[in-house]
């Protein structure tokens, strides 16, 4: 009878034991899986952030090389800009070049933290190495070691950028603590339930004994057992809820910090002058910042979804760069080349880093800058050096020719005075004519060779053009002139004498091209710079348009080269002198042929800044 009556309670006890054991196992597995997935996600976000930071810093230092390597204040500004815990620049052997504080001595050896010596050597040879989380004094950090190259693409240093990773460890530790407490609580709950069931079973047996008239011992201790279990259970639940509240607060702080880091990254990408485009594993655009749309002259919102071959054109060097990154995982820190945009051809400096996922390329980040104006300035400086060298050579040639020409001129004058017969006089006159022509050439040599030191004043362009026309006349009335100047043409700063000489040479060149007569039109308008580095820079463009035969395409590239001429009696120095004067004013000269067939010479002069 007792066995039959006790059977349901014993079955309930076994079923409850199995249920809570299975529940504990399921919760244990799910909690461990959640902690592991959360840790992997946070680690991957940290790796992406460090890759992006290393690419931005290496590009910033390269663009300001070499002074950026020895300037602690500049390094500290980069550290503050990217919200880093530390930023140190090392040589390829591990010696310190400079750090954010300037406290460490140059050449002092720096022990890489979080990575091995072999991994540091990989970074010194072009790879980006990300360390695991490590403890540094009281902080927990994660570092990226990345190569730093000079403008020629040579690796000159290794950067170490560290980010605070304490929140990752705190979240993982709190999650583990919560899991342990949760498991302990469930285990205790299981024991408590078993105890309650056993107590109920004992009470049930006592009731049966009392019903059968058997003596039953009901002590105060047995009456308080159930109350004790219930109180203990309630305390455990309250403790568990408190730990859960603490975990939620920590999770909210971690999420807020992650949102803050993400917002900071988005703000940086939105405001930097470099274009940044991310690609997926198939080469399609995932994201693009505003600078990317500006440089490519396209709407940034229309860029996502485009394949790189459609965006840059099949066979373009940028397309090849992206293809190597997304398909082969190859990084490129610095490349330069020309691309075609709706606003015209632009020179681009670009670098790309693959996004690796478990050793396989999962996409790429392309960072690029419009260097069109930088390249033009570089070419202008090289042109100045060539012009100065040619000027020195011209001065030497002129002086070497002038002395013997003076002797020949003297003998010609003597021959003319002493000769009475006509043939001798004609010969003397011919010699004197040739000497005069040679003297004109020597004078142009000397003009070209003179050092160009500008006497800068505010220049009235319309008045200067009128003066230039008056100095040359109207070419015998055969050339009709037309001046189309915008009434709002701003003032420029320059040397009025040299600019007048340049304008006279340009007008004279047009007169000589239209020997049989024609029309000469001079038009002026203001143009803004189309480069993102100096969007507010303005130029006055002067166009000299004639109705002559135009410029032979084969001569366009050489037309400003000293001593190059297509005229029977030209010296090839007139247009060269024009280019020299304009370049020293910070401008440029371009030659082309108009649609009607005449030549067009465009002079660009910078507007006086406000």
pLDDT, one tens digit per residue, over 214-225 is 554 545 554 455
Same structural domain, 514 and 440: no
Whole-angstrom distance, CA of residue 323 vs CA of residue 52: 19
Residue range(s) defining the domain that contains residue 236: 2-32+169-260
Q: Would you say residue 543 has pLDDT above 90?
A: yes
Q: Would you say residue 544 has pLDDT above 90?
A: yes
pLDDT bin (cut points 50, 70, 90) of residue 601 is very high
Same structural domain, 609 and 476: yes
Q: Which of 128-132, 265-269, 446-450 has the lowest mean pLDDT?
A: 446-450
Same structural domain, 174 and 26: yes
Whole-angstrom distance, CA of residue 444 vs CA of residue 521: 26
Whole-angstrom distance, CA of residue 225 vs CA of residue 211: 22
* 431 lies in some domain: yes
Same structural domain, 444 and 494: no
CATH number for the domain spanning 380: value is 1.10.287
Least Cα distance to 197 among 361, 31, 50, 12 occurs for 12
User: What's residue 223's pLDDT?
Assistant: 47
| Chosen domain end from 370, 394, 413 | 370
* 239 lies in some domain: yes
| Chosen domain end from 236, 260, 284 | 260
Whole-angstrom distance, CA of residue 11 vs CA of residue 202: 15
* 46 lies in some domain: no
Same structural domain, 159 and 177: no
Q: Which of 56-60, 148-152, 413-417 has the lowest mean pLDDT?
A: 413-417
Asked if 132 contacts 315 with a C-beta cutoff of 8 angstroms, the reply is no
* 130 lies in some domain: yes
* 51 lies in some domain: no
Same structural domain, 434 and 494: no
* 42 lies in some domain: no
pLDDT bin (cut points 50, 70, 90) of residue 247 is confident
* 53 lies in some domain: no
Same structural domain, 200 and 280: no
* 311 lies in some domain: yes
Query: What is the tens place of the pLDDT at every residue in 183-207?
Result: 666 666 666 666 666 666 665 555 5
Same structural domain, 467 and 606: yes
Query: What is the tens place of the pLDDT at every residue in 335-369?
Result: 888 888 887 788 888 989 888 877 788 899 999 98
Q: Would you say residue 407 has pLDDT above 70?
A: yes
CATH number for the domain spanning 299: value is 3.30.450.20
Same structural domain, 394 and 421: yes
| Chosen domain end from 451, 479, 497 | 451
Same structural domain, 144 and 191: no
Helices marked H in 480-572 — which ranges? 496-513
Domain count, the chain: 5
Greater pLDDT, 473 or 60: 60
Same structural domain, 460 and 605: yes
CATH number for the domain spanning 546: value is 3.30.565.10
Same structural domain, 328 and 398: no
């Amino acid at each position: 009878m007792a066995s039959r009556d006790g059977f349901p309670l014993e079955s309930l006890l076994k079923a409850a034991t199995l249920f809570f054991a299975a529940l504990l196992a399921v919760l244990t597995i799910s909690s461990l899986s959640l902690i592991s997935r959360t840790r992997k996600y946070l680690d991957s976000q940290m790796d992406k952030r460090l890759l992006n930071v290393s690419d931005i810093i290496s590009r910033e230092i390269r663009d300001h090389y070499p002074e950026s390597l020895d300037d602690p204040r500049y390094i500290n500004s980069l550290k503050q800009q990217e919200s880093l815990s530390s930023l140190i620049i090392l040589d390829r052997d591990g010696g310190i070049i400079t750090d954010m504080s300037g406290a460490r001595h140059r050449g002092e050896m720096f022990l890489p933290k979080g990575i091995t010596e072999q991994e540091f050597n990989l970074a010194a040879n072009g790879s980006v190495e990300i360390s695991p989380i490590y403890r540094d004094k009281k902080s927990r950090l994660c570092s990226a070691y990345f190569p730093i190259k000079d403008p020629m693409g040579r690796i000159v240093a290794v950067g170490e950028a560290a980010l605070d990773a304490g929140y990752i460890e705190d979240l993982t530790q709190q999650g583990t603590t919560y899991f342990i407490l949760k498991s302990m609580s469930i285990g205790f709950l299981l024991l408590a339930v078993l105890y309650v069931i056993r107590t109920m079973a004992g009470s049930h047996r006592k009731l049966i004994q009392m019903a059968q008239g058997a003596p039953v011992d009901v002590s105060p201790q047995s009456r308080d057992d159930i109350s004790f279990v219930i109180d203990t259970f309630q305390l455990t639940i309250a403790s568990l809820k408190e730990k859960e509240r603490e975990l939620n607060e920590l999770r909210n702080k971690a999420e807020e910090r992650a949102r803050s880091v993400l917002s900071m990254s988005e703000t940086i990408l939105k405001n930097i002058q470099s274009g940044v485009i991310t690609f997926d594993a198939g080469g399609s655009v995932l994201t693009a910042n505003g600078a990317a749309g500006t440089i490519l002259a396209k709407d940034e919102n229309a860029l996502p979804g485009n394949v790189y071959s459609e965006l840059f054109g099949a066979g373009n060097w940028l397309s090849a760069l992206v293809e190597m990154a997304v398909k082969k995982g190859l990084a490129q820190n610095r490349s330069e080349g020309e691309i075609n945009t709706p606003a015209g051809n632009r020179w681009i400096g670009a670098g790309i880093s693959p996004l690796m996922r478990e050793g396989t390329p999962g996409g790429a980040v392309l960072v690029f800058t419009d260097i069109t104006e930088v390249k033009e300035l570089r070419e202008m400086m090289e042109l100045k050096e060539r012009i100065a060298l040619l000027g020195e050579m011209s001065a030497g040639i002129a002086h070497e020719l002038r002395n013997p020409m003076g002797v020949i001129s003297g003998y010609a004058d003597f021959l003319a005075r002493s000769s009475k017969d006509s043939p001798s006089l004609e010969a003397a006159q011919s010699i004197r004519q040739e000497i005069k022509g040679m003297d004109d050439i020597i004078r142009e040599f000397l003009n070209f060779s003179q050092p160009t030191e500008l006497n800068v004043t505010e220049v009235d362009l319309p008045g200067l053009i009128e003066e230039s026309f008056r100095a040359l006349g109207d070419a015998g009335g055969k050339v009709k002139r037309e001046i189309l100047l915008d009434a709002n043409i701003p003032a420029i700063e320059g040397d009025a004498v040299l600019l007048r000489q340049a304008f006279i040479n340009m007008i004279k060149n047009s007169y000589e091209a239209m020997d049989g007569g024609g029309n000469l039109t001079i038009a002026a308008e203001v143009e803004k710079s189309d480069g993102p580095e100096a969007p507010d820079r303005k130029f006055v463009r002067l166009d000299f348009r004639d109705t002559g035969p135009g410029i032979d395409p084969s001569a366009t590239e050489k037309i400003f080269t000293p001593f190059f001429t297509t005229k029977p009696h030209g010296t090839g120095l007139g247009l060269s002198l024009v280019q020299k004067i304009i370049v020293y004013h910070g401008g440029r000269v371009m030659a082309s042929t108009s649609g009607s067939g005449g030549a067009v010479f465009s002079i660009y002069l910078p507007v006086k800044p406000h």
